[in-house]
Structure 1
């Protein structure tokens, strides 16, 4: 495998031209914790900025599609599917964000899935910060991936 560092010590984009095209999929998750007041506004769709979940879903999808513009050395990918879903935990006032990214290609989609979750969480924060400036975004991670040379992987 070629080095990712050139003769001047500079990082380069990984050459994936010799890799096989396979169906690749990644699922990432993250959470945002908030006050009961902010959470209630989200659940009741009463946030002053509008449909918090709907806007965060679109923001997450856009982030996955723009991942290569945000992260240096990340390959631009022709994603075939991006889904961003939300699970509301009313007892603990936590919104769990899950993203799925998929394509047929030569490189994985973990960064796109992580970007989708991250930007969805940031959007939730932005839209709810007037009700709760003390929210916490946490536990952003890849939980599953499939395809490619290394095959399937899942968080235990």
Structure 2
């Protein structure tokens, strides 16, 4: 049954920010999936997909950056718990309709708190890395549509976005 009185969990009764105490929560398998995109000129997409970008393999570098970012989320987002992630997967697919690249980040852990922020951080940094590596040829790229698609585990259970991840809001 949904909470009829939603509250911000990182704000106490006095309005001060704090790290949520998860010590009493059960350890459960948790997963989160986030997506984002980088829209670019068609020529830029072709350059990246061909592997001929001046800075090197954009997709491989962005994938590594996303994985590293997921592992460092607690260092970047002030009230996040450090997590021993069991898996981080980054999928990067060309989408000629954008034109651009679609990024999907999946994070997993067995723990007392969720991995949504790790998935969102991984996706964000992956997209930013794509921008960084291709900005010399296309400064007009747009990083966007970063959002949570799915989360599972813990007391709140399973949640998916209303549209199931159709690449837009």
Common fold by TM > 0.5: yes
Alignment match, 1:80: 86
- Deviation of 1:141 after TM superposition, in Å, equals 0.3
- The equivalent position to 1:128 in structure 2, one of 123, 127, 134, is 134
When normalised by structure 2's length, the TM-score is 0.87
Asked whether the equivalents of residues 37 and 131 of structure 1 are also in contact (C-alpha less than 8 Å), the reply is: no
Alignment match, 2:73: 67
Could you list the per-position Cα deviations for residues 103-145 of structure 1 after superposition, in whole angstroms to 9, with x for gaps in the alignment? 0000000000000000000000000001100000111000011
- The equivalent position to 1:41 in structure 2, one of 47, 53, 64, is 47
- Is 2:121 the counterpart of 1:118? no
Query: What are the ranges of 5 or more consecutive residues in structure 2 without an aligned counterpart?
Result: 1-8, 163-169
- Is 2:31 the counterpart of 1:25? yes
Runs of 4+ in 1 over 2 A off after TM superposition: 3-10
Could you list the per-position Cα deviations for residues 11-63 of structure 1 after superposition, in whole angstroms to 9, with x for gaps in the alignment? 11000000000000000000010011211110100100000000000000000
When normalised by structure 1's length, the TM-score is 0.95
Count, aligned residues: 155
| Mapped partners of 1:91, 1:146: distance in 2 | 30
Bigger shift: 109-118 or 3-12? 3-12
Aligned partner of residue 83 in structure 2, secondary structure: coil
Query: What are the ranges of 5 or more consecutive residues in structure 1 without an aligned counterpart?
Result: none
Asked whether the equivalents of residues 34 and 123 of structure 2 are also in contact (C-alpha less than 8 Å), the reply is: yes
Asked whether the equivalents of residues 80 and 102 of structure 1 are also in contact (C-alpha less than 8 Å), the reply is: yes
Asked whether the equivalents of residues 10 and 79 of structure 2 are also in contact (C-alpha less than 8 Å), the reply is: no
- Deviation of 1:94 after TM superposition, in Å, equals 1.8
RMSD (Å) for aligned C-alpha atoms = 1.6
